[in-house]
Structure 1
Amino acid sequence: MPTPSPRPCPCGLPAAYVDCCGRFHSGAQQAPTAELLMRSRFSAFAVGDASYLLRSWHSSTRPDGLELDPAQRWERLEILGTERGGMFETEGAVEFRAYYREGRHAGSLHENSSFTREGGSWVYVGPLSPVAFD
């Protein structure tokens, strides 16, 4: 009988979740770039990991708590562009479109997000422009 293949990562990269964003969610590794942090945050929404979302949020903009809507399923991430945010940089931006489904309604979220390093780790600061839901 064939072995079932590992669950693919929700972020869209061609890797298993455990080897991709799962290693960041578990704390085994830190995301080395702003884009990988963005991807790992999308995956955290997709798998319902609110604690990772809070840990990867800048202390000046992080909410006190976060309740995820179990009826909302995050299905696909599209990276539209990046600015800075590399392994040896301290600030960056990632523009993305995240696709979700809530019941019979399908929609998307478009955001250009700001990232910085805090305590040596990449963290999400917030949107650079108004967030658009389609």
Structure 2
Amino acid sequence: MARSLMLTGAVLLCSGALFSAFVPVARSPVSAPATSTGTAAALSAAVLATPQAAFADEGSVWIPALSAIGAGFAIGLAAIGSGVGQGIASGRCIDGISRQPEVADDLRGVLLLSLAFMESLTIYGLVIALVLLFANPLIK
């Protein structure tokens, strides 16, 4: 937990130095209330401290967080790849059928088989995402 607190403090210090490096924009004559910066700082500190409160029992917040991000990438990339592949295969099948209508039955059978194989890769991505979310081997 001490390491997580140090990392959180380092992020707070670095973000303050990062935002102070920019040149401020010229302000209009009507200025915002002075409490808005204090409110924003308090909200930022609360958001950054929330993982500490959630995992105060010496657990690490990074593994579940990165697992959730990895699950999102797994299902997203699997769905995008499968969708593009199925679109290309279907388009080529329609082109083939339009050129030679007498082989439409053969092409349709091959298309359905290849679409099933492509969809199985999406299901593998879903399984990986579910394992990362609910049965993660990296979490005790």
Structure with higher Rg: it is 2
More helix by percentage: 2
Bin of the TM-score, shorter chain as denominator length: under 0.3
Higher normalized contact order (CA 8 Å, seq sep 6+, divided by chain length) = 2
- TM-score normalized with structure 2 length: 0.20
- TM-score normalized with structure 1 length: 0.20
